[in-house]
C-alpha cells in the first residue's frame, strides 16, 4: 500500500491543473479522489489491489498521452475545423459562466442585479 500511495502522489504532482476549468479540471478531481481513497496516507488498507493498480495504469496512459502518440492524428482540428486552443477557450469556466448568465431570463437578471439578497434566499 505505501508504494501505491506514493505512485498516486507522484502522478498528482505531475498532472497539471488547468486554472481556466478549476472546478471541472481532471487534475483537480484526481487530487480530490486520491485524498479520499488514501485518507490514512501510506497506512490506508486497499481492498482491491488489482483494481487500484489498473486505475493507476489507466491514469498514467491518459497523462502520458499514450493513445494520442500510438494513434497520431493527421490534423489538429475536429471535423468542424475547431482547433485545440479554440476548444480550450470555449470550455473555460469564464465563458461557461457567461453562457449561464445569457440563459437567464431578463426578469431574473434584473432581480439579481437590484436585489440586496441572494436569489437562493428567496427559495427559503
Q: Model confidence over 80-100: pLDDT tens digits?
A: 777 777 777 767 666 666 666
Non-local CB neighbours of 5 within 8 Å, separated by 6+ positions:
38, 41, 42, 44
CA distance 48 to 83: 40
User: What's the pLDDT at 62?
Assistant: 93
CA distance 60 to 55: 9
- Based on its alpha-carbon atoms, the radius of gyration of the chain, rounded to whole angstroms, reads 21
Say what the pTM is.
0.60
User: What's the pLDDT at 74?
Assistant: 80
Q: Over 80: is that where the pLDDT of 24 sits? A: no
| More confident: 103 or 120 | 103
CA distance 59 to 15: 10
Amino acid at each position: 500500500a505505501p508504494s501505491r500511495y506514493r505512485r498516486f502522489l507522484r502522478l498528482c504532482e505531475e498532472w497539471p491543473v488547468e486554472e481556466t476549468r478549476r472546478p471541472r479540471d481532471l487534475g483537480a478531481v484526481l487530487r480530490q479522489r486520491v485524498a479520499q481513497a488514501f485518507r490514512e496516507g501510506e497506512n490506508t488498507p486497499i481492498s482491491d489491489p488489482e483494481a487500484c493498480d489498473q486505475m493507476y495504469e489507466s491514469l498514467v496512459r491518459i497523462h502520458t498521452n499514450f493513445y494520442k502518440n500510438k494513434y497520431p492524428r493527421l490534423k489538429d482540428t475536429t471535423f468542424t475545423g475547431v482547433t485545440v486552443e479554440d476548444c480550450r477557450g470555449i470550455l473555460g469556466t469564464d465563458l461557461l459562466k457567461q453562457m449561464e448568465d445569457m440563459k437567464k431570463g431578463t426578469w431574473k437578471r434584473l432581480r439579481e442585479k437590484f436585489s440586496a439578497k441572494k436569489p437562493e434566499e428567496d427559495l427559503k
